[in-house]
């Protein structure tokens, strides 16, 4: 199936709590409609040090980056700074490797990298080196990192930190060979930073950090119309008041967009093919994941072909809205809400999604999967041919900050259209021992007025007390 996404430019909404509206020639306009005058525009060639230019200019400066590769640049902006790429401007965190020596069945080069005492993250069994942030590229194609010299072969490479030697299993002759070294393209605590029309690539971001790092204390950053690719951890990490609009965030090592914060808007982005490094999607990987997030508006985005859920909120997130997004070909879920509260999931189109190599039961995933979350409204969504349709789960997730156990409660699934040839179209399951049936009887979880397209209404395409059941038995509970 070919998916054609029409993003809704006319519906673009700029939140009033952020300083993100760009006024030509004037700068940012805040919620009080106070203009901030911009300083002069500074043209930046590919040979100049961008941080030095930032340091030597006042806040609110516009930096216009020339076409070409601005290599090994890390920027801590000043408040109000704008970084706007001319067509073809690339900000790269990778060093060129140009001197090689053949040694038996592999080739070597020297690199300037330092080993850390520890690295965050959990890896898939097939990718044990995922936690190490440096990536090796041949003509912008990442090679697979291995954890020992003896494992080096075609398509793989190994880094000996103690002597700074890169071992490659492929002949580098004729290729542009790069090693990502720097962790961030943009970071720091500045306010009202604007980043637009750049290609941001090949940063050695650690797991759970991003090449564009909005979590370092900055407020009201606007990230618009960029291509963010081949960064090892996340492409973009959110921060308070961030506005992320119309970016192409693809082929990042762990996650396209992730983080936390409050009052964040994520609109009209293409998020695809993330998690090439092989992080475990049970830890954190896929299209987009947010934790401890408050008041997020996530709408009109496409999240496809990611090595983990398309969208995922977790760990005491509150006030999340998913509206009119498209997801497909992700692992475990198109949209996953876990141990969170006060969510709206509306008008999304979820197709051929949520298939999980770990298994096909409802505890392994669904197009829309609600896990131990409360006060969730799921309406007007279209779910087609996913591993399972719209499913709730209750498990032993421990206690929330209020000291009460996380539960699946006040979940309303109404007015959705669910098409399933196999699997479970809708329902709730219990994952774990010692959990009572109250989730079915007294926790106000309801499925009403949904349209089901299944091979037979007498088939067991629904799940309630005791497991799989027919439509008539399922509807009798509501």
Q: What span, in angstroms and rounded, lies between the C-alpha atoms of 142 and 366?
A: 31
Closest CA to 416 of 454, 452, 460: 452
Residue segments in the chain with a per-residue pLDDT below the cut of 50: 1-35
Closest CA to 284 of 237, 353, 352: 237
Euclidean distance between the first and the last CA atom of the chain, given in angstroms as a whole number: 35
DSSP string, 154-193: TTEEEEETTTTEEEESS--TTS-EEEE--S-SB-SS-BS-
DSSP string, 19-42: S-EEETTTEEE-TT--B-----EE
Count of residues for the chain?
A: 478
Q: What is the pLDDT of residue 36?
A: 58
Q: What is the pLDDT of residue 196?
A: 98
Residue 436: how many other CB atoms lie within 10 Å: 11
Summarised one tens digit per residue, pLDDT across range 266-316 is 999 999 999 999 999 999 999 999 999 999 999 999 999 999 999 999 999
Q: Which DSSP letter does residue 143 get?
A: P
Q: What is the pLDDT of residue 403?
A: 82
Summarised one tens digit per residue, pLDDT across range 145-158 is 999 999 999 999 99
Strand order in the sheet with 101-103: 101-103, 106-110, 165-168, 156-160, 144-145
Q: Indicate the pTM of the whole model.
A: 0.93
Q: What is the pLDDT of residue 38?
A: 74
- On whether the CB atoms of residues 238 and 262 are closer than 8 A, the answer is no
- In our burial notation (b when 16+ CB lie closer than 10 A, e otherwise), range 109-135 reads bebebeeeeeebbebbeebebbbbbbb
Q: What span, in angstroms and rounded, lies between the C-alpha atoms of 205 and 208?
A: 8
- On whether the CB atoms of residues 233 and 212 are closer than 8 A, the answer is no
Both tokens assigned to 365: 């995933």
CATH number of 9-88+181-475: 2.160.20.10
Domain ranges of the chain: 9-88+181-475, 94-179
Q: What is the pLDDT of residue 397?
A: 87
């Amino acid at each position: 199936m070919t998916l054609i996404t029409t993003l809704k430019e006319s519906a673009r909404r700029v939140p009033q709590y952020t300083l993100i509206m760009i006024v030509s020639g004037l700068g940012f306009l805040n919620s009080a409609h106070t203009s901030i005058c911009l300083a002069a525009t500074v043209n930046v060639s590919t040979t100049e040090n961008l941080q030095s230019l930032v340091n030597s200019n006042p806040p609110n400066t516009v930096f216009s980056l020339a076409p070409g590769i601005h290599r090994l640049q890390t920027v801590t902006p000043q408040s109000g700074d704008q970084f706007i790429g001319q067509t073809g401007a690339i900000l790269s965190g990778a060093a060129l490797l140009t001197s090689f020596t053949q040694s038996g069945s592999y080739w070597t080069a020297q690199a300037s990298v330092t080993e850390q005492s520890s690295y965050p993250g959990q890896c898939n069994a097939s990718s044990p080196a995922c936690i190490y942030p440096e990536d090796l590229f041949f003509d912008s194609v990442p090679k697979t990192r291995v954890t020992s010299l003896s494992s080096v072969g075609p398509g793989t490479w190994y880094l000996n930190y103690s002597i700074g030697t890169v071992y490659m299993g492929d002949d580098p002759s004729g290729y542009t060979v790069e090693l990502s070294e720097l962790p961030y393209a943009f970071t720091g605590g500045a306010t009202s930073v604007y980043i637009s029309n750049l290609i941001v690539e090949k940063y050695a971001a650690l797991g759970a950090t991003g090449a564009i790092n909005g979590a370092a204390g900055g407020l009201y950053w606007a990230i618009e119309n960029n291509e963010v690719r081949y960064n090892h951890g996340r492409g973009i990490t959110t921060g308070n008041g961030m506005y992320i609009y119309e970016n192409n965030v693809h082929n990042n090592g762990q996650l396209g967009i992730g983080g936390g914060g409050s009052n964040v808007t994520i609109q009209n982005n293409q998020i695809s093919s993330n998690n090439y490094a092989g992080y475990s999607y049970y830890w954190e990987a896929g299209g987009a994941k947010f934790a401890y997030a408050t008041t997020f508006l996530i709408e009109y985005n496409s999240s496809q072909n990611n090595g983990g859920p398309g969208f995922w909120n977790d760990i005491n997130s509150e006030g999340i809205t998913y509206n009119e997004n498209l997801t497909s070909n992700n692992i475990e879920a198109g949209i996953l809400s876990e141990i969170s509260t006060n969510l709206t999931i509306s008008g999304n189109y979820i197709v051929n999604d949520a298939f999980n190599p770990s298994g096909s039961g409802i505890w392994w995933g669904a197009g829309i999967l609600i896990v131990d979350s409360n006060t969730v409204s799921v309406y007007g969504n279209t779910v087609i041919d996913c591993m399972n349709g719209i499913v709730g789960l209750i498990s032993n997730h421990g206690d929330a900050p209020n000291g009460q156990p996380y539960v699946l409660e006040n979940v309303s699934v109404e007015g959705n259209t669910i098409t399933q040839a196999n699997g479970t179209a809708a329902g709730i399951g219990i994952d774990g021992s010692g959990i009572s049936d109250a989730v079915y009887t007294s926790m106000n979880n309801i499925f009403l007025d949904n349209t089901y397209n299944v091979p037979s209404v007498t088939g067991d395409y629904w799940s309630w007390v005791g497991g799989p059941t027919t439509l008539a038995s399922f509807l009798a509970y509501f």
